Amino acid sequence: MRELKNDRYLKALMRQPVDQTPVWMMRQAGRYLPEYKATRAEAGSFMDLCKNTELACEVTLQPLRRFPLDAAILFSDILTIPDAMGLGLYFETGEGPKFERPIQSAADIQALPVPDPEQELGYVMDAVRAIRAALDGQVPLIGFSGSPWTLATYMVEGGPTKTFSKIKKLIFSEPALAHAMLGKLAESVTLYLNAQIKAGAQAVQIFDTWGGVLSGPAYREFSLRYMEQIVSGLIREHEGRKVPVVLFTKGGGLWLEDIAATGCDAVGLDWTVDLGDARRRIGDKVALQGNMDPSMLYAPPAAIEQEVGRILHSFGEGPGHVFNLGHGIHPDVDPAHAGAFIEAVGRLSRPYHK
C-alpha cells in the first residue's frame, strides 16, 4: 500500500503533533453537493448508490475534489447491518429509512442472523477496496458503523421516531430480550468494522446517533457497554499502523468520562458541548472530534470564520483535535460556505501547532 501523503487526521486521533488541525465533515459526501445529486439520480436510489461500487467510490471522492479535506469517509449507511439481517431497508422520500420487517417479537430477535461481512455486506467491502485504491494515499479512509443501540432503535421502531416508545418499552419491560438483540448487533458490528479495516479503512467511527435519548443508567447498560465490547474486539493495528477508533454519541456530553474510558482513541462531540470543557475533562486521555453546529454553515462566511476561531481558541494549543461539525452537514447548505469553513480551519489553526 502507498504511504499516506497527508496523515494529519490519523496523527491527531493519536494525539501526535500536526502542522494544522485536520478537518472533515460528517455527511461530506451528500445532498448539499450538486454532483452528488447527479450521481444519485444516475444510481436510481440511495441503496442502489451504496451497492454500486463505482458510484459509491465516485461520491466518496467528490468532496475531496472540491475541498482540502484531511480524510475521506466511506459512502454507505448506518443501517446496512439490519438490512443484511433480512429486515428489508428502504427509503421514503422526505421520511428517512424504514424497514419492511421490523422486530416485533422474541422470535424475531432469536431469528436474527449475524451477517458475514464479506458475503451479505460484500458490496461495502468492495466499496472500501475501490475507494482506498482510488485515493492513492492522498488522505486516510474512515470506515464506520451505527452503534448497536442506534441500530436497535430503527429495527424495533421500524423507522424514524420522536418518542422511542417501542424500543424503550422493550428495554424496560424485557431487558433480557433487548440484551440478546444488542449482543448480536455488537458481534455483527465488530465483524463488520474489522472487515472494513482488512479491506483498507484506516480509522473507524461508531455513530451512536440515539444514545442521548437514554437516561445515564440506561445509556451505560444498553448503549455504552456494547460500544466498549466492540472497541475491545477491533483490530487496532493494520498495515504497520495504528487504526484509531472514534466513538460519537449525539447528546452524550453528560457521559464524556465514561465514553473516554471505553478504550477508544477519540470521542466525537456534538455542538452542545464546550470543547475547552471537554478537553479539561477527558482531553488528556483521548483525542476530541468536533464540534461546530452544522447550522452555522447557513451564516455568512465571515461569521463562519469567527466561529471556527472561537472553537479553536476553546480547545487551545497542541494536538488531539480533529475539527468537524457536531453532526452531519445539512442538505441545503451552500457548498461555498462549506468551503469557507474548511479553509478557515486550515488557516486559523496553524498558530495553535507551533
Q: Which segments are annotated as binding site?
A: 27-31, 77, 154, 209, 327
Residue stretches of the annotated binding site for substrate: 27-31, 77, 154, 209, 327
Residue showing cell 420522536: 162
Neighbours of 274 (CB within 10 A): 16
> CA–CA separation, 105 vs 86, rounded Å?
15
> CA–CA separation, 261 vs 205, rounded Å?
16
> CA–CA separation, 248 vs 66, rounded Å?
26
Burial class (CB in 10 A: 0-12, 13-18, 19+), 353: middle
Residues with catalytic roles: 27, 31, 40, 77, 154
| Grid coordinates given for 347 | 488557516
- Spatial neighbors of 165 by CB under 8 A, at least 6 apart, are none
- Using DSSP's 3-state secondary structure scheme, residue 73 falls into strand
- Using DSSP's 3-state secondary structure scheme, residue 172 falls into helix
| Grid coordinates given for 300 | 455568512
